A and B are shown apart, each in its own frame.
Chain A
């Protein structure tokens, strides 16, 4: 049960940023501007940093999962 929840969370951390990156009509607009830069440009740039946040979350959770699996394997031996 718990692992299933973890799998959904892991998938979400990759799928959510991917959907945003591919949904161009979400960010294809001029306003609001930031320092005179159209939304189209600044949003995509800021979103990069946020993607990194999602991915760091994914990397941490995966590491935890791998360590747990390795722990179980040594126990089974």
Chain B
């Protein structure tokens, strides 16, 4: 068995894998379009299209927000990072554990306010809370921009599945690009007609497939290694077993920065606001860390793969920089029965597709409501929904263009840049929920300083070249995740500036009285 796999360079996928893959993809399309009729509502209404009429219960919100975690981030970025750099990339697991604590404190309050006042986006809340159109627009722009690399990462994930499936065929590059284009046209068509309902139904379908795949991976892969985990961990470098001391601070700031960022992303807030009640939102949030267990299993594949010779041999045919993203798909192909590979690979393929749809929809809501509507306030509800639908389609294709032009490894590092940008809206959105003394001017200044210092530090760390690191080496604290450093600058300006302004006003009032 092993001799055949080492002599034949690659497995060419047969009908026994392609039939389940294509069959389930057709089922996926049907579900996407059927979403229109599911729990019927007037889809010409933005609330109905973008928030599914705020009618999603505990289980559905669990799946919808879970869809934001089980993305290409889980089966491409994280295993790829663990494969290349070792234990540092396991930070994703405590990040997931921490982020739902953050959500439990902030999101039910945002939900209640939004229900009361009809907000659909974080930007709606900010504009109303601080009475500042400028701050609202800035927050909308930050949201849209930070999601672009995140969507690109989803497409990289889909690409990795296609690369593995098409290896061995003649002209794989062209077939791959055509397949991606077809998948995107279908996706654009059903999100256009069904809105969040279609995305939610397909999210449930996708999560079922992914859970089956994750369970199969954790059972089959260690069993295919003689000696299991013990052997795998014995053969890797020490930095794959535990963290070197120099990376301890980097690890905890990556955990903190990522955990603070997740619920600031527009698509996450969108998922939260589609919940039926604050109670159901709390329950589903409390259960969501369980999703992280699957993520941990995926991350471990980045280490286990070293002990699976057939998969390693397959990976050796690709350039070193693109091996990481192929870890999970190639393990599926080389350790599982053929018919099951088809199912699992489709799970990963739509695991990129569904989040991409959800993200593009939330970008579109921001663009229409919080940017275009500010410039053209007398837009009718009908044209609002039309512009939202069209722009959600455009955003998907921008991200696709991104992937066709930028190499895969680059796209993954860009996702960390997305985190650095989005976390800068934290002072306004999270603290704005609870602290009355914050003022709009320092918040705007803090946001801008946070964003520009973040970008500068990223560029500086990478010597103004290709993005490979998002940790900045400080002399006192060691390497720290840049998102956290830039956020500290931002917080000092936001709170310091607000305190100075409030003090000045108090003094002025006292003087006037005299």
Give the B-binding residues of A (Cβ under 8 A). Answer: 14, 17-18, 21-25, 28-30, 33, 35-38, 40-41, 44-45, 47-49, 51-52, 54-56, 58-59, 62-63, 66
Contact = CB atoms under 8 A, between A and B. Distances in A.
Nearest to B283: A59
Q: How large is the interface on B (under 10, 10 to 19, 20 to 34, 35 or more residues)?
A: 35 or more
A62 B108 contact: yes
Nearest to B250: A24
Contacts of B229: 35-37
A38 B104 contact: no
A14 B285 CA distance: 13
A66 B278 contact: yes
Given A18-B98, A51-B100, A55-B104, A45 B296 contact: yes
Nearest to B94: A21
| Best-surrounded residue of B251, B255, B286, B296 (most CB of chain A within 10 A) | B286
4 A-B pairs closest in CB distance: A36-B230, A55-B286, A36-B229, A59-B282
Interface stretch (B18-26, B287-295, B354-362): B287-295
Nearest to A33: B230
B104 A14 contact: yes
B344 to A, nearest CB: 21
Contacts of A25: 248
B160 interface: no
| Best-surrounded residue of B98, B231, B285 (most CB of chain A within 10 A) | B98
B373 interface: no
A62 B282 CA distance: 9
Given A22-B94, A41-B87, 17 more contacts: A17-B101, A18-B101, A21-B259, A22-B252, A23-B252, A29-B242, A35-B229, A45-B296, A47-B97, A48-B293, A51-B100, A52-B100, A54-B101, A55-B287, A56-B287, A62-B108, A66-B278
A8 B230 CA distance: 43
Nearest to B103: A55
Interface string B267-293: 000000000001100110111111011
Contacts of A51: 97-98, 100-101, 289
Interface string B214-239: 00000000100001111111000000
A35 to B, nearest CB: 5
A12 to B, nearest CB: 12
B279 A63 contact: yes
Contacts of B94: 21-22, 44, 47
28 contacts: A14-B101, A14-B105, A17-B98, A17-B101, A21-B259, A24-B248, A24-B252, A24-B255, A28-B242, A30-B241, A35-B222, A35-B228, A40-B242, A41-B87, A41-B296, A44-B94, A44-B97, A47-B97, A48-B290, A49-B290, A51-B97, A52-B100, A52-B290, A55-B100, A55-B287, A59-B283, A62-B282, A66-B278
Contacts of B241: 30, 38, 40
A14 to B, nearest CB: 5
Contact of B243 (A23, A40, A48, A49): A40
A15 to B, nearest CB: 8
B190 interface: no
B287 A52 contact: yes
Contacts of A58: 104, 282, 286
Nearest to B230: A36
B311 interface: no
Nearest to B303: A41
B227 A36 contact: yes
Given A17-B97, A44-B93, A63 B289 contact: no
A55 to B, nearest CB: 4
B426 to A, nearest CB: 16
A56 B234 CA distance: 38
Interface string B124-146: 00000000000000000000000
Contacts of B101: 14, 17-18, 51, 54-55
Contacts of B230: 33, 35-36
Contacts of B256: 22
